Each structure stands twice: as C-alpha cells, then as structure tokens.
Amino acid sequence: MPLVPLLEMLTIPFNLLGLVVCLVGLTMARRRERRWPWYGMAGAGFLIAATPTLLAQLLLLE
C-alpha cells in the first residue's frame, strides 16, 4: 500500500488523539504546582497531531 493514502487515512485519528493529549496536558498544567511535565505533554500532543502532515511534507521533498 502506498504511504501517501495511508497518511491521509490516519490524519483525522492522529489529529483527534493529539488534540486530546494536548488539552489534557494544558488542563493539568493549570491545576498543578509542577507545570513543566504537563506542558511537555501538551507539546507531545501537538507533535502527535502534526505527525501525518510532517511526514507528508518530508515525503514530498524526496
């Protein structure tokens, strides 16, 4: 199976998962004393959501 259609198919699940992880991280950072781990979790959620787009860009550059 070619990689580009697979990335298009996985974009919405990755975006939703990344959104949930990011929102949980930001919510927990607001309520806790030690905030940096939760900000890291929010950053990881952003990376999860951006993964299909970044991979598609890298594949187009080849």
Q: Where are the alpha helices (DSSP H) in 1-62?
A: 3-31, 36-61
Q: What is the per-residue pLDDT for 46? A: 95
Rounded CA separation 10/6 (Å): 6
6-36 pLDDT per residue, tens: 888 889 999 999 999 999 999 999 888 888 8
Q: ∠ CA 47-52-54 to the nearest 5 degrees?
A: 70
**Residue 60: pLDDT over 80:** no
The model's pTM is 0.80
